Amino acid sequence: MNDLLLKTLKGEVTSRPPVWMMRQAGRYLPEYMVLRAKYGFFERCQTPELACQITLQPVDIIGVDAAILFSDILVVPQAMGLEVQLIESQGPILPNPIKSIADMSRVRVPDVHETLQYVFDAIKMIKKELNGRVPLIGFAGAPWTLLCYMVQGKGSKTFDEAKSFCYTQPEVAHHLLQMITDTTISYLKGQIEAGADVVQIFDSWGGLWSPVDFEEFSLQYIRQIVHAVKDLAPTIIFAKGAWASIGAMAETGAAGLGIDWCIPPKTAREFAGDNITLQGNFDPAKLYAPVDVIKREVKKMITDFGPGRYIANLGHGILPTVPVDSARAFVDTVKEFDYSTL
């Protein structure tokens, strides 16, 4: 019924941009916090009924133009054989990370229908409950970003151990990256078969590389994924901080490209060209501003991107302490915008 996102990714003319928010199903919603108090994180991810309920919350409460599956990028390392713990307020912990070629014996390319079937079951349930109201976005982490956690064993601002691994053991690193890539291709194909209308690849740590090394350790693997699934569903790449590689990412065949708030919209468009949809790039922290400021800045953002081939979104995930009314103001301002005023 609301196909704005799908039309925009195809480059079709629309009256306004579609809007959704990364991490929109999450900690800023009181309704989510009720479920968080009752169930552990991976219990929420691995129980289709809970994942469905959480996925639908922002559609019902905030009024976004798309749902995004409630899950986590680290379900893939889990499926590949590594233990993943998520400790509230501390983040992910992988107690036995990959440090050498000897550790590779613990990693496998799984049958995703055995290890990740709960995700596909959740998608089927979500699609039934959505009943065509809005499209459903599936997702996976980019191979480089997953390697970061699989090698570092925890979150980091620099992922120096993961980068050192790539530089000192490049053959092992590329072998691991290819295994993650093969798993991710099967995983995203499974999501699409289950009903995902769009898929997004999150490369949260792509910006840690120079453009040359980003190609070497990240983009060549993202390109494989896009090539494998782009004819099955529109694909969006979001590589935070990798603005210097926007042109290269735009040439992958992806339908959309997410950008953060550190590059002006007009510059991003110059780098990307006119044949790809851009998504972003509102600073999530700006949602702490007064509502009238949020509305003014959202209108400016849309105006700067110009009419068409644009999805309004944040430049990264919504922060957990953002007021619900501020998130709603962001979404409502986009929905009230009319391209004919430009």
* All residues at 6 or more sequence positions from 205 whose CB lies less than 8 Å from its CB, including other chains: 144, 145, 148, 159, 240
Tokens 């990264």 belong to residue:
316
Q: Amino acid identity of 64?
A: V
Nearest Cα residue to 245 out of 277, 275, 213, 278: 213
Contact 301, 260 (CB under 8 A): no
Distance CA 25, CA 318 (A): 9
Report residue 17 as tokens.
Answer: 């941009």
Residues forming the active site = 23, 27, 36, 72, 149
Coil vs helix vs strand at 22: coil
Distance CA 27, CA 284 (A): 14
Backbone angles phi, psi at 135, to 5 degrees: -70, 160
Report the 10 Å Cβ neighbour count for 5: 28
Question: CA 73: distance to chain centroid?
Answer: 9
Tokens 């099955």 belong to residue:
232
